Amino acid sequence: MMIITLNSPVSFYFIIVLSLLFINGSNGATITIVNRCSFTVWPGVLANSGSGSVGTTGFELVSGGSRSFQAPASWSGRFWARTGCSFDSDTGQGSCLTGDCGSNQVECNGSGAKPPATLAEFTIGSGPEDPSRKQDFYDVSLVDGYNVPMVVEASGGSEGSCLTTGCVADLNQKCPTELRFGSGSACKSACEAFGSPEYCCSGAYASPTVCKPSVYSEIFKSACPRSYSYAFDDASSTFTCTSADYTITLCPSLPR
């Protein structure tokens, strides 16, 4: 008869395995960010109120690099790319040209992106009950403008559309002059550029029956049909999947 004590290597192995199964089990999603841009980016991460941490709120990602995160069940939040960043090697202080979160650090520390910025938004496990996990919702949003091409792909999913979504077009090249940010490094939304209720879907326009697509949101929608182009663009822009993992690719290759 062999007795395995708690401090034996075998029991330690099983504790580790059980821990990993608990953390990385079916009630969560692995989210991977891949940088295919020809330049370094500094992704930002913002969890919604009440959501846990994925381990970071901002980091550097060189061209060709990738990094993965474990999002727990019921996690919701957003990812985006900061570009043109400069951080002092001694103090860690700095800022970014686009997508800056105002923390003056690589970590965003609970702050979101300053528009314009392309956003990948997720809600993990918030929909109808499923034997393995609740349904996920995800989208790529241009409601806060655009700075880099981005797609989100679901893998290993079951129920739901599980479709790839995002924007592979270079909207900086198609950006109307009145929406252009700086020297053309990003494209503002009409709401950001003009601040009027009809473009922001606010005030008297704060409902889908009143706030309709504008000539500017139609430019975004035409170039990126599956992305959110304005606040009430839900029907063709929100996607669902169950038991999936997700890959966010920055600057994906244009389809052949």
Does CATH place domain 30-169+226-250 in 2.30.30.110?
Answer: no
pLDDT at position 132: 55
pLDDT at position 26: 46
Above 50 in pLDDT, residue 233?
Answer: yes
- Spell out the residues 6+ positions from residue 74 whose beta carbon is closer than 8 angstroms to its own: 51, 124, 125, 126
d(CA 194, CA 186) in angstroms, rounded, equals 16
The residue among 4 and 185 whose pLDDT is bigger is 185
- Spell out the residues 6+ positions from residue 103 whose beta carbon is closer than 8 angstroms to its own: 58, 109, 111
Q: What is the reported pTM?
A: 0.86
Least confident of 19-23, 88-92, 94-98, 114-118: 19-23
Give percent of the chain with pLDDT exceeding 70: 85
Query: What's the rounded mean pLDDT across residues 90-98?
Result: 95
Query: What's the rounded mean pLDDT across residues 2-14?
Result: 43
User: What is the per-residue pLDDT across 103-145, written as a single tens digit (0 to 9) for each?
Assistant: 999 999 999 999 999 999 999 986 555 555 589 999 999 999 9
Any idea what the Cα angle at residue 231 is, between residues 225 and 236, rounded to 5°? Answer: 30
User: What is the per-residue pLDDT across 180-226, written as a single tens digit (0 to 9) for each?
Assistant: 999 999 999 999 999 999 999 999 999 999 999 999 999 999 999 99
